[in-house]
Structure 1
Amino acid sequence: MKKIFDNTQIAFALKSNSQLNTSYFLFKMMSFKPLVKIGTAIIPFALKIKLPVENLIRKTIFNQFCGGINEEDCLKVVDILETKAVSAVLDYAVEGKVAESEFDNALQKMLRIIEFDKERQAIPFSVFKPTSFGRLDLYEKIGNHENLTDAEQQEWQRVEARFDKVCQEANQKNVSILIDAEESWMQTAADDLIFKMMRKYNTEKAIVFNTLQMYRWDRIDYLKEIHQFAKNEGFYVGIKLVRGAYMEKEKERAEEKNYPSPICASKQETDENYNLALQYITNNLDVLSLFAGTHNEESAYYLMELMQQKNIAVNDSRIWFAQLYGMSDTMSFNLAANGYNIAKYLPFGPVKEVIPYLIRRAQENTAVAGQTSRELEMIIKERQRRKNA
């Protein structure tokens, strides 16, 4: 497979010299673990005591990783991305809500986003987290088959109704819906509910997509299981594949509560799982559709190879590549330039409200081996190319 991810001219064509320099500064800062640790502790505290840091955050890390504070803000970014054949997934990145009124507000926000997306070819997917529609503790209780009080039963019915309303709306508006994965101890209930939505709404194609975290050693078996159900019953399955985002939390909880860790024993095992899932899905595109969320170049090349081997068109509507906005532009824009379906996750929300998301991005870039160094390497390469041009 021809290597395409080193073309920095294509990757950073949309960035001015000033924007490229800002990105360089941010990733350089994120390469220092102690600095990230201090910064992620200080930022929430500074906002809490009303220090005037919001504008600084917006001009730096917020602009790097977010599309704006609302949908209209994001349109500017969406339109720019579309000039390079890159689609967007609007992701309302506000999290950590626990009240019923907040869950209802999240539902209304999702319905508005779907309505916003329906006329825009450049925004083919919407996305939400299960815990934006209900309490994590309730998902956990349902997944463990614990007895619910009458009030909890009614609460769960409201969670189901929110899921159903969004999936129904997505189906009617022909906007595919990605449902994110979260902690393993709440995921069983979410999986069952998403499966129910697939059965109901994926009758003609994959509209509802579940997310499988391939750092979990049980996900390949789960993929095969739901595929078999879909094949037998005549509906379609949408799968968003990721490696996973809660590894430390998962390991700590398993140790604390003395149960086997759901996480693969090594990164290599996770990588093998991810690639096995790519292989399985591309072997079964008559039923399965794929949204491959990855910043791993080897997995992206592997998927490209599988498509070539199986004579799958690069723009086959059943296969999408995806990366987060502000990261892995060398993958995203070069894939798009070669005709593949590519989407950028475009988080948005009020600056103060998306701080947890931004902190995770900073921590992720520090924690993932080679991530920040790769980003920096490509930015430095492009700065040098422009200097010599």
Structure 2
Amino acid sequence: MLWTCRVLYSPAGPSVRGWQPLRFDGGAFHLKGTGELMRALLVLRLCAWPPLVTHGLALQAWSRRLLGSRLSGALLRASVYGQFVAGETGEEVKDCVQQLQRLGLRPLLAVPTEEEPDSAVKTGEAWYEGNLKAMLRCVDLSRGLAETPGPAGPILMQLKITALTSTWLCKELTSRVRGPGASVELSPERLAEAMDSGKDLQVSCLNAEQNQHLWASLSRLHCVVQHARTQHVRLLMDAEYTSLNPALSLLVAALALRWNSPREGGPWVWNTYQAYLKDTHEQLRRDAEAADRAGLAFGVKLVRGAYLDKEREVARVQRTEDPTQPDYEATSQSYSRCLELMLTHVSRRGPLCHLMVASHNEESVRHATKRMWELGIPLDGPVCFGQLLGMCDHVSLALGQAGYAVYKSIPYGSLEEVIPYLIRRAQENRSVLQGARREQELLGRELRRRLLGGA
């Protein structure tokens, strides 16, 4: 099977033997130990239980009071933390990544930081500056991991912009760029020029405090990308809520103007597009064409999206139009259209256009591999795949063993940092966790085969 896939997906184009789809039937689980499979099955079943996800933070606090921090921490490390987190120290992260590399998988490190609007500690400039230092360390760690034996390829890192700038500023910028009288002072060109020159930026539609924070935020973002470019690490910027995304896209566009030119060998800055939003395909089309006209490299992480319930609730309360697709089928169709658009751009622009197919959906992944074959896109070229660490391993392993570039999104850090982050991500990704039933079935089948000798 491995030999067949490598022939089919050679850069020379489609094989005369026809299309041979990958099988996501858990056959690649033979690469993992029995203990790993047992933990995965237990944790995935727990995470599919809605009360645990809904009340996760309260249950964690209750567990610490009842069992003590030492025993409670040990249980978390043996279960949820061990399943979804690479570790706390650089050595622990390196060990985790080396295990993945032996399976044909690559790391996509993510610093588990996020703003808490009600916390004075986690919204001040000192907090953002601390996050900047953490991001720079993550760049260095990502670079260091690339020097270990394993699959070679672009070094990628995940970055959350609201760890470096406030949500209140992003909402203000969104209101300024979304309306019909959008301020020309907030163009990507002007922001890029300010970052590159180092000169203070003053925007007339913002007050003094907002201007000061905007300039500090731009400086932090520019610093991270500059360091990442020096270390040959490409940055994948996360998308968030629709109340923030226009501002986030503005900042990404400004960074792209500076760092995604062909002479830089980019794209070094990628944006994330959420297929569950109604306007995503049109936005992606405009951005791809704009990058093409400007001669810029273009990097995209394509996801379904994680904020469905919150977006619908906000639209209901504010009595505005629901920005999300009406159902799962419509979201899948949107994802397929966006995927087709990007694969076509990749086949036409080659190394100037990069795509991460970030999906746990078997059909979306299978469709992507088929279109890559039909378009003559090489397996280990400008298209890669992405899944979360600890989830969807039956897809990740099958892709990796067939020679595709597969990245696992890997948070790391202490229990105190990561567990609240994981719980919030679980609350945002309920449908993904509850939809992991097939993976649970495959894990159970493999464990029965090993332990009971079942067919």
- Does TM-score exceed 0.5, indicating one fold? yes
Deviation string, structure 1 residues 45-96 (Cα, Å, up to 9, x no partner): 5458994322211211110111112333211010111112210011111323
Contact 1:5 1:330 in 2 (8 A): no
Aligned counterpart, 1:311: 376
Contact 1:264 1:270 in 2 (8 A): yes
Mark the runs of 5 or more structure 2 residues left unpaired by the alignment: 1-18, 116-121, 178-204
Q: Distance in 2 between matches of 1:376 and 1:361?
A: 20
Aligned counterpart, 1:6: 24
Alpha-carbon spacing, 1:134–1:39, altered in 2? closer, same or farther (3 Å): closer
Q: Distance in 2 between matches of 1:63 and 1:342?
A: 21
Q: Would you say how many aligned residue pairs link Structure 1 and Structure 2? A: 387
Aligned counterpart, 1:222: 283
Aligned counterpart, 2:260: 202
SS of residue in 1 equivalent to 2:384: strand
Give the counterpart letter for 1:26 in structure 2.
Answer: V
Residue 47 of structure 2, aligned match among 6, 30, 33: 30
For the pair 1:120 / 2:145, whether they are aligned, the reply is yes
SS of residue in 2 equivalent to 1:185: coil
Compute the RMSD of aligned alpha carbons: 2.2
Cα deviation, residue 380, structure 1: 0.8
Q: Distance in 1 between matches of 2:155 and 2:412?
A: 17
Mark the runs of 5 or more structure 1 residues left unpaired by the alignment: none
Aligned counterpart, 2:339: 278
Q: Distance in 2 between matches of 1:366 and 1:233?
A: 39
Give the counterpart letter for 1:65 in structure 2.
Answer: F
Q: Distance in 2 between matches of 1:149 and 1:38?
A: 39
Aligned counterpart, 1:301: 366
Alpha-carbon spacing, 1:30–1:337, altered in 2? closer, same or farther (3 Å): same
Deviates more, 1:65-74 or 1:202-211: 65-74
SS of residue in 1 equivalent to 2:421: helix
Contact 2:236 2:301 in 1 (8 A): yes
Cα deviation, residue 10, structure 1: 1.7
Contact 2:256 2:269 in 1 (8 A): yes
Aligned counterpart, 1:238: 299
TM-score by length of 2: 0.80
Cα deviation, residue 102, structure 1: 1.2
Cα deviation, residue 320, structure 1: 0.7
SS of residue in 1 equivalent to 2:130: helix
Deviation string, structure 1 residues 104-140 (Cα, Å, up to 9, x no partner): 1111111112122224336811111011001111100
Cα deviation, residue 27, structure 1: 2.2
Residue 438 of structure 2, aligned match among 349, 371, 374: 374
Alpha-carbon spacing, 1:95–1:45, altered in 2? closer, same or farther (3 Å): farther
SS of residue in 2 equivalent to 1:80: helix
After superposition, residues 1-389 of structure 1 pair within 5 angstroms as 1-11=19-29, 13-14=31-32, 16-47=33-64, 51-52=68-69, 53-96=72-115, 97-121=122-146, 124-145=155-176, 147-204=205-262, 205-285=266-346, 286=349, 287-316=352-381, 318-360=382-424, 362-363=426-427, 366-368=430-432, 371-387=435-451, 388=453
SS of residue in 1 equivalent to 2:79: helix
Q: Distance in 2 between matches of 1:306 and 1:189?
A: 33
Cα deviation, residue 243, structure 1: 0.7
Q: Distance in 2 between matches of 1:221 and 1:72?
A: 44
Give the counterpart letter for 2:305 in structure 1.
Answer: G
Q: Distance in 2 between matches of 1:178 and 1:24?
A: 30
Q: Distance in 2 between matches of 1:369 and 1:118?
A: 31
Give the counterpart letter for 2:103 in structure 1.
Answer: K
Cα deviation, residue 32, structure 1: 3.2
Alpha-carbon spacing, 1:77–1:369, altered in 2? closer, same or farther (3 Å): closer
Cα deviation, residue 236, structure 1: 0.9
SS of residue in 1 equivalent to 2:223: helix
Contact 1:30 1:365 in 2 (8 A): no
**Aligned-pair identity (%):** 27
Cα deviation, residue 182, structure 1: 0.8
Q: Distance in 2 between matches of 1:132 and 1:154?
A: 17
Deviation string, structure 1 residues 317-358 (Cα, Å, up to 9, x no partner): x11100000000001111010010100001111112222332
SS of residue in 1 equivalent to 2:301: strand
Cα deviation, residue 305, structure 1: 0.8
Give the counterpart letter for 1:4 in structure 2.
Answer: L
The structure with the largest alpha-carbon Rg is 2
